[in-house]
Structure 1
């Protein structure tokens, strides 16, 4: 029986390992990418909630860990680079604990980090609010000044109403305006087993919400429900040829059923704060019997700008929990201009390097 192209690649991968005295890397202990010439394998790093932004020929990633936020820089999409802490949570205050899912954005000549945090440690996670950091200069490694908590309630901040539970803030620049998009609760609650929706609001500037929030989506479709908790979270913006998409995570983040849904703006000139203008589709990316719980992506292009890539996390086992790693793969577009993410590639499968990245030195080191 003729071998499939993927099988040929894998045989070449194994042969390369034998020639250099190495074997494919364990999926649970990867810290750098194992490659043969011209190929890499997933996962590319440990961690979750990956965020990558490309600027001036470099990839900047952002993440949370050890009570703070780190940034890393690399000239290769498949290599994360050295993670350097750029902000530590204060010893007390609304953002002292549970720092989650930061994102790094370059707006109006400065870097901004959007993140979620809480005033109290541990479960239940009922205190999550969202805030923003602003770079003092133009260096993504800081220093940063704390611009405070974002207002995520139903009345403008000057009325004195309380911000509502909010995580995963991302930014949508559209038609000369700036919008915040996030995952939130309808009202604050005493249990974290609370339904999550997607909200949007107009911003006055990168650190100030300037309008009441609008709920643009709820977990209502059959592929978004059916587990112990219906939720939508991790919204990410994807633009192509004047089309605007919000790719979000749904189902439960700790289960293998975690997956991606899509909202598309019917016309990019329409008001994005009108829920009826968003069309829902899904699931657009979901796990297989070899890849579990795919979610919380970000998007970028290859080094030469000719290819589109999705970076996402996946669970390392089918057991409930938040042990995850970071993966990436190329995606395409259909004739109607919609993204086609395909099927997640199993760990250890050789994948062709992003265009323009060049060949990498073979290494057996963790």
Structure 2
């Protein structure tokens, strides 16, 4: 699978679903399979195509498929052909119960809470949704500042699939040098739960070989909307390994193995470092999978040696 930004999802019927940015950045696709490795050669269906003009007409990025409130949704980002970096988050809803066969409809742009004057006013993308104790939380990247802006991660509760119920809370900003190569970036959040803890992985720096993954951790009993309850890893949890030929690993998702016993990390990376031109438009970020290993403290360990 030669796509960037690879959200994978395993439904309750044990079907794996895969969607991702396509090299042309012009449509949203979906694959499905009962075995995760079969996604590589599974039929690919186009669910939606970009608009010809105006909003959602360029840079269709980072779709994620989620099953929420008993319905299927895809969260994605899109730009405006007249302002190509006016990237904002949007939602599709499946009109039926089968995300692969049934029709999808637009729900428009994600809406902030009424008292929130800041969310989705600038470059916003890479949204994910997590369920916790009966509530849904929306986590996304958004740029702030002037000039060469900074991409931070924010969190808020969802009131509905397309609206937040709380104001944004800042989870992480690029603090370390490894998050500040080329651009100051935190983006691509993904959630993994294990033994009473919640782990939030994210991607950092520009999208070439410096691209890497960091992680935040919180106890499941803490208030997720209090940034002080989250701890941040001082070093990347996954980064370029030249000897293994894996460059710029990032923007991942987590799924269970077929037997439900293993946690798998699905991410994208390049197999080479020499990129001509803008790395953003280099189409050869490949989808890869590694098994997550748990150490004696029940913290995740990410190693390329565990590649499937």
Query: Normalising by structure 2, what TM-score?
Result: 0.88
Q: Which residue of 2 aligns with 1:205?
A: 160
d(CA) in 2 for partners of 1:256 and 1:108? 39
1:309 aligns with 2:264: yes
Equivalent position of 1:9 in the other structure = none
Which residue in 2 is equivalent to 1:293? 248
- State the match for 2:286 in structure 1: 325
Q: Kindly tell me: are residues 117 and 149 of structure 1, through their superposed partners in 2, closer, same or farther at Cα, counting changes over 3 Å?
A: same
CA contact (8 A) 2:32 2:43 kept: yes
RMSD, matched Cα: 2.2
Structure 1 residue 126 and structure 2 residue 80: aligned?
no
Instruction: Name the residue aligned to 2:54.
Output: 93
Match of 1:186 in 2: 144
Counterpart position of 1:37: none
8 Å CA contact retained: 2:290, 2:304: no
Question: Contact (CA 8 Å) 2:7, 2:252: kept in 1 or not?
Answer: yes
After TM superposition, the structure 1 = structure 2 runs for residues 227-306 of structure 1, keeping only pairs within 5 Å, are: 227-253=181-207, 255-265=208-218, 267-281=219-233, 282-289=235-242, 290-306=245-261
The answer to whether the 8 Å contact 1:152/1:163 transfers is no
More contact order relative to length (CA 8 Å, sep ≥ 6): 1
- 8 Å contact 1:151–1:163 — kept in the other structure? no
Corresponding residue SS for 1:201:
strand
> Are the structure 2 counterparts of residues 105 and 162 from structure 1 closer, same or farther at C-alpha, using a change threshold of 3 Å?
closer
Match of 1:143 in 2: 103
Which string of whole-angstrom CA distances, capped at 9 and with x for unpartnered residues, describes residues 69-88 of structure 1?
01101112112111100111
SS at match of 1:223: helix
TM-score (norm 1): 0.75
- The aligned length equals 293
Unaligned runs of 5+ in 2: none
Q: In structure 2, do the counterparts of structure 1 residues 166 and 198 end up closer, same or farther at CA, with 3 Å as the change threshold?
A: same
Of 204-213 and 335-344, more deviation after overlay is shown by 335-344
Per the alignment, residue 34 of structure 2 pairs with 75
- For residues 31-64 of structure 1, the C-alpha deviation after alignment (integer angstroms, 9 at most, x for no partner) is xxxxxxxxxxxxxx21111111011121110123
Shift of 1:126: 2.4
2:10 aligned residue: 54
The separation in 2 between residues aligned to 1:217 and 1:177, in whole angstroms, is 21
C-alpha deviation, 1:287, in angstroms: 1.5
Distance in 2, matches of 1:152 and 1:287, equals 36
Q: Which runs of 4+ in 1 moved over 6 A?
A: 159-162
